[in-house]
Amino acid sequence: MIDWLMDNGSRVLGLAGLHVVLALASTLLGLLVALLAGMLVARAPRVSGPALAISGILFTIPSLTLFIFIPILFGTRILDPVNIVIALSVYAFALIFGGVVEALRAVPVETRQAAEAMGIGRFRMLFTVELPLAIPVIGATLRVAAVSNVSLVSVGALIGVGGLGDLFTEGFQRNYLVPIVWGILLSVLLALIVDLCIVWGERAATPWIRAGERR
């Protein structure tokens, strides 16, 4: 096991780097779109209901189907990493969007009224009051989306761009277990690191929660 990793260390490191880039790029893109869309429809029940239903449907689309159809829709090459980023951005959006909408809806009316009484405008209120209060809920859905994307990147190996997923296909093709085991272990490790980074970022962005816990 260790000997194989030492012999293939540079290749594995490159695959891990690609894996991280694909997973994080798609997660951040999905988060950005989910935030923008969520802020637009959170106060519009007639729109948010159908929008939430559509986001739920998006998550049910098989990943391999998206990987195959995105080159057709966008005219990209079948082995272009952009296909993976676009496909996984759809999943990230589907997971995070509902959390953004529900988190913004859950901001107490009294809090909004107090902000308005202080002369805070609607746009400023959104970014200085509502979104900060929504961070814990959004962070929870972001963690799920990020970890899911770390896992789903491996599926891209079936079309030739899968980061650590290449170790799975190599192992199956050669009927050799070692690269498969390392692919699993490293994928789990990456997922844990990404999850811990998001938790740290969430805690850093919500210092008032830590202050309340210390009381």
119: left (phi over 0), alpha (psi -120 to 50) or beta: left
Distances (CA, A) of 178 to 1, 52, 57, 192: 6, 42, 37, 21
CA distance 131 to 207: 14
CA distance 118 to 10: 58
Per-block average pLDDT, block size 10, for the chain (215 residues)? 83 92 95 93 83 88 82 81 90 93 87 82 82 91 94 83 86 88 93 95 81 55
Say if residues 182 and 167 touch (Cβ distance below 8 Å).
yes
Say if residues 167 and 179 touch (Cβ distance below 8 Å).
yes
CA distance 188 to 185: 5
- For 78, the 3-state DSSP assignment is coil
Buried b (16+ CB within 10 A) or exposed e, 151-186: bbbbbbbebebbbbbbbbbbbeeeeeebbbebbeeb
Q: Which residue has the tokens 């009294």?
A: 110
Angle among Cα 144, 146, 148 to the nearest 5 degrees reads: 65
Please tell me the pTM assigned to this model.
0.89
Q: Which residue has the tokens 């988190």?
A: 103
| Residue-level pLDDT at 96 | 95
Q: What HEC string does 94-120 produce? A: HHHHHHHHHHHHCCCHHHHHHHHHCCC
| Residue-level pLDDT at 23 | 94
